[in-house]
Amino acid sequence: MENGRKFIVLGVTGGIAAYKSAQLVSMLVKNGFAVQVIMTENACSFVGELTFRTLSQRPVVLDLWHCGSWQPEHVKLAEMADLFVVAPATANFVAKMANGIADDALSTFAATFECPALLAPAMNPAMAAKAAFLENVEKLRRRGVNFIGPEEGHVACGASGKGRMSEPEEIFQTIKKLIGDN
């Protein structure tokens, strides 16, 4: 909670679906949620940090080394968060989270949070069908992590199949259900 508002930590990873996350942040803020965005370095190649800073009305966390206070950012955020969402969640991020790898700001936050989590995978359908990805998803599900998607459809690289990120409205509705804000 932050000032009586539900506090969402939104991770944005490096996939073309990152543009949909801007719409999700906008929806959340318009509906009274506080949103803290953490972007991976690769995410910044798809959508600029300024977009998320403007929509969330707060600085975006880009790395572990530029904290605004004495307390490490990932620890402070973990204490405040009501829900941890990653949209899009790449195969790389899912693997990091499933295996406890903490080598950037987002994966380090993933190693510290205590609140419920929701991942919205997005990737090429061939990647989404690989045994390693599916095993990592199952490992995280056993730990209580929630998933939405990936969906069937056409993806940016031209392929079709199960790999599209769920639409922002669907993710938003799932967030509301998970934090009891129906």
CA angle at residue 104 from 51 to 4, to 5 degrees? Answer: 55
Cβ proximity of 120 and 166 under 8 Å: yes
Catalytic status, residue 157? yes
The two tokens of residue 14 are 């490096």
34-39, strands of its sheet edge to edge: 34-39, 7-12, 83-89, 117-121, 146-147
**Closest by Cα among 175, 166, 152, 135 to 15:** 166
Cβ proximity of 63 and 98 under 8 Å: no
**Closest by Cα among 34, 35, 42 to 17:** 42
Cβ proximity of 119 and 44 under 8 Å: no
> Residues with catalytic annotation?
157
